[in-house]
Chains A and B, each alone.
Chain A
Amino acid sequence: MKHFDVIIVGAGHAGVEAAAAAARAGVRVAMVTMRQSNIGMMSCNPAIGGLGKGHLVREIDALDGLMGRAADRGGIQFRLLNRSKGPAVQGPRAQQDRRLFQSAVQELVAGVGGLTVVEGEVVALRIEAGRVIGIGLADGTEVAGHAVVLCTGTFLGGVLHVGDVRAPGGRVDEAPAARIASQLRDVATGVGRLKTGTPPRLDGRTIAWDQLEMQAGDEEPVRFSFLPGGPLPRQVSCGITHTSQRTHDIIRANLHRSAMYGGHIEGVGPRYCPSIEDKVVRFSDKASHQIFLEPEGLEDPTVYPNGISTSLPADAQEELVRSIPGLERAVISQPGYAIEYDYLDPRGLTPALELRQLPGLFLAGQINGTTGYEEAGAQGLVAGLNAARRALGQPPVTFSRAQSYIGVMIDDLTSHGVTEPYRMFTSRSEYRLSLRADNADQRLTPIGIEAGCVGRVRRASFEDKSEALERGRALLQGLTFSPHVLAQAGIRVREDGERRAAYRLLSDPTVDWAAVAALDSRLSELPATVKDQLAKDALYASLIERQRADAAALQRDEAVVIPAAFDYRMISGLSTELTAKLERIRPETLAQAGRIEGMTPAALTLILAWVRKGQRMRAAS
């Protein structure tokens, strides 16, 4: 029998963040994976970040996670999406060299103290007195721990579909985790099926690149990590092509052979990542669909044709691919497939991502109904950190909607559950103007320091930056100028005699920073990163101010914690329907209770009153 404090099952994007976060929090961690060489593998598209997703990567990085640093080291084409729009909706994204990314993850994992990698298949959770106390491996080894984090991805009851051919599997050529899946169906309620798809992979040497439109990365790459990093890999371009009318004819002719349309799949797929079959059927009036040809690596000829994920049979896939301009001679190195897997209704989780039914068991990633590396990594970090805190006997750390996309995601999952694989969008956040990629460190690193999951190096670098920002902010708010002086500097404001602070000038998008900096030498001497950040803060200051009352009310309600064992049935006056909902969702805070559909002000007031009463009784006894 081996003993650890926390056991992480799986070593994908959720698993490595969970393991590293738990280890940073100061406990002994075992990370169990079927194949050590596959740690940090990118099973789907070779890219990290994007809108909402790039925000999540920055938040993971702000909490000293691994993904941002690995993606900087693997990035072969950086693009800041929405560069022409405001900073709140700019999302960093980078194509990845799969191998560089994966080796960066593996190196980072190897550098984490207190983290042991264990190779083997987890076949059972060991449960005693209603609590998880460890796991059993296929070879009979038992591993004991105070908390277990499941990060099983698509391996939980995974089934692969290529046309009407189906086979159990977690990824191509990898066996699924079947036994643990069946145990989970026994011990937990709310197991459902989701599906996702991949496109066929192409041999890039057979693509007519010279006939294609090419998209280069940014001139000045914007990195993910707040920490300074080494030189970036060589940067490359992606190709762009489109499906043709003939592609659509081929798809229509073969539709009945598709796993999706042939009725072989019961799982629900995401609307924002439809298969090419879906696109052709649902948007039949569109003459063509865009495809990005993404290189999978600098030394790897494989190309990922983003936009044609499919579950058609292999022969139809080849016909389909070759009907696309530039791909007439393309060779498929691996056919596309759809994969179905189990997930657990995330409404059964606490905001710390612990399964309410089974204390000691934490879940992160696709098992919670999400999709995407970034969503998985962020949950992994939260689950790992909280698993460590449980092992240490510390209270959980949770994240607010008003504070982070991590908070938005976990609140959405635990309050509303999922009806399709959940992906982050910036539109999911009602505080989008404050939750920016550029200020993720300002928002979250202090919380990470407090929670004990931020290392020494990052802490020092963060504190230096914060100090510089504070000095800059004080300077900008302190220096004021009369309309007359401003006019002379070419900055037009209303001639009302009122002196304006430099900070306020920056909130006007038409005012140029250079013109403001010219007003005072101390302003022009501010470091570029500080100026940038302060200009972004200033830009949204007035709108953010308007939201402050909402955010404050939200945080006040979030501060009212409803005890885990709270008995809603004792509250006279709550409707049976509402009582049933509350008992199922078990909101952790008054704020979460308020977001339950059908909640009334009266019911909320009653719950608040009972919570207060319980507090007073405990205080008295």
Chain B
Amino acid sequence: MNTIFAQASARGKAGVAVVRLSGPGSWGAVRALAGRVPEPRVASLCTLSEAGGRLDEALVLTFAEGASFTGEEAAELHLHGAVATVAAVLRALSGLPGLRPAEPGEFTRRALENGRLDLAQVEGLADLIEAETEAQRKQALRVLSGEVGRMVGRWRGDLIRAMALCEATIDFVDEDVPVDVWPEVRGLLSGVLADLERERAGVGAAERIRDGFVVAIVGRPNVGKSTLLNALAGREAAITSEVAGTTRDVIEVRMDLGGLPVTLLDTAGLRDSGDAVERIGVERAMERAEAADLRIFLVETGEEPGMVPRDGDLVVRGKADLGDVVGGPAVSGRTGEGLEALVAAVSERLAGRATAVGVVTRERHRVALGSAAEALQGALQNGAASVEMTAEFIRAALRSLDQLLGKVGVEDILDDLFASFCIGK
């Protein structure tokens, strides 16, 4: 049985973050990070470190088998709440042998199996698991849109194709199917493996999978978007000037907005531009704004926003300091007028939504990419020698990437196979 871990407290910036471990390797993991296993049920201050590097000063609690939430040997690490700290500890844990990130509801499931929960408790927790599952699904969808989505779609297609080729030579040996499929299979697998390793190294994924909420400020050029961003961020993050179209690329500022982790995007003003570079900026602005959790539309009096606001989006009039403002909320980045109300409105809207699962999902993806890469290396090493073992490695890779690729069933493979080869005597 694996030892599982996950952040048990709410995600995002907080005073304290709790990471929970359950399973036979829990105490071993504590020993690996803290250098000792504190007495059960006694909160002990420990320095967590990995390979000599200090991770955090944490309160560590251990629970013996039969005397924990899940009924298994368990531990809790109470960390400082910074997102980076939590991410580093989760990463260190997933590097330990026999440990893996918990699936949604897995703690509950184990507790239930060990007779530690009654039905009422399960029903209460079920909502939580559902939210977690939903949040993961959303996160996966977010990963799947755009450029990453296209790449992941290609992985799926390539792995299904590689599997179909292997299966064709196994299950349809008397048919008109190619005998030596290995060169093509090798090409497909090496391609996916290279992508996986690049992603895992963080070149791509870390850039794209963000923690917390994304809020985009959109509007026509020179309506005061950058000034508003600077005012909200409290520093000169975006260059502001009187010249329309100054912000040609998307500028991001991460900040704490009413207690929530928010990445604020300042986007290029929406207008038809003759300037090719600016046009790209506008396109990118639209794309990022579409994908954001919330959009703040900054408009001038009587003007329509450049794109259609969705439910829950905010539409405010900018440059409130420039006189004759009539009705509706208005804001000025320069004088700070209306800022407080705007921050309140943003955090009110965001607080109502399920928190994005940023860190955990990212760690889970990293682990998934890692084990998929390992399986593909196995397939490539095994090579043409025994195709049934190669197929097994590809199957394992597909299973690891379930969450990113969606489940690949035998029907998907057979579909590809029957479409490519004329099978049937």
Check: B65 CB closer than 8 A to any chain A CB.
no
Contacts of B423 in A (CB 8 A): 271-272, 274
Shortest C-beta distance, B25 to chain A (Å), equals 13
Which of these, B176, B387, B414, B425, contacts A85 with CB under 8 Å?
B387
Check: B109 CB closer than 8 A to any chain A CB.
yes
Report whether A85 and B388 are in contact in the complex, using a CB–CB cutoff of 8 Å: yes
Contacts of B112 in A (CB 8 A): 605, 608-609, 612
Given contacts A432-B388, A549-B2, contact A426 B170 (CB under 8 A): yes
Which of these, A81, A286, A430, contacts B422 with CB under 8 Å?
A286
Most chain-A CB neighbours within 10 Å: which of B108, B109, B127, B171? B171
Within 8 A of A (CB), among B379-404: 385-389, 391-392, 395-396
Within 8 A of A (CB), among B199-219: none
Check: B130 CB closer than 8 A to any chain A CB.
yes
Shortest C-beta distance, A98 to chain B (Å), equals 17
State the CA gap A272–B423 with chains docked (Å). 5
Chain B residue, CB-CB nearest to A81 = B173
Contacts of B105 in A (CB 8 A): 601-602, 604-605
Check: B174 CB closer than 8 A to any chain A CB.
yes
Check: B251 CB closer than 8 A to any chain A CB.
no
Most chain-A CB neighbours within 10 Å: which of B172, B391, B425? B425
Report whether B117 and A609 are in contact in the complex, using a CB–CB cutoff of 8 Å: yes
Contacts of B170 in A (CB 8 A): 51, 82, 85, 89, 426-427
- A259-283 to B contact mask, C-beta < 8 Å, 1/0: 0000000000011111000010011
Query: Per DSSP, are chain B's interface residues mostly helix, strand or loop, or mixed?
Result: helix
Check: A65 CB closer than 8 A to any chain B CB.
no
Most chain-A CB neighbours within 10 Å: which of B113, B126, B130? B126
Contacts of A85 in B (CB 8 A): 170, 386-388
Chain B residue, CB-CB nearest to A432 = B388
Check: A613 CB closer than 8 A to any chain B CB.
yes
Report whether B176 and A289 are in contact in the complex, using a CB–CB cutoff of 8 Å: yes
Report whether A602 and B388 are in contact in the complex, using a CB–CB cutoff of 8 Å: no
Count A/B pairs, Cβ under 8 Å: 132
Contacts of A546 in B (CB 8 A): 396
The count of chain A contact residues (Cβ–Cβ below 8 Å) is 50
Which of these, B119, B167, B174, B385, contacts A425 with CB under 8 Å?
B167
Chain A residue, CB-CB nearest to B109 = A605
- A515-553 to B contact mask, C-beta < 8 Å, 1/0: 000000000000000000000000010010010010000
Within 8 A of B (CB), among A591-615: 600-606, 608-610, 612-613
Which of these, B108, B167, B410, contacts A605 with CB under 8 Å?
B108
In the A-B complex, the 9 residue pairs with the smallest Cβ-Cβ separation, listed nearest first, are A602-B129, A601-B105, A609-B122, A306-B425, A283-B422, A602-B130, A427-B167, A425-B171, A271-B418
* Sample of 15 further A-B pairs with CB below 8 A, known A286-B422, A425-B410, A433-B388: A51-B171, A86-B388, A272-B172, A272-B424, A307-B425, A426-B170, A432-B391, A600-B129, A602-B104, A604-B109, A605-B126, A606-B126, A608-B112, A608-B113, A609-B117
A residues touching B (Cβ–Cβ < 8 Å)?
Answer: 45, 51-52, 81-82, 85-86, 88-89, 270-274, 279, 282-283, 286, 289-292, 306-307, 425-428, 430, 432-433, 509, 540, 543, 546, 549, 572-573, 600-606, 608-610, 612-613
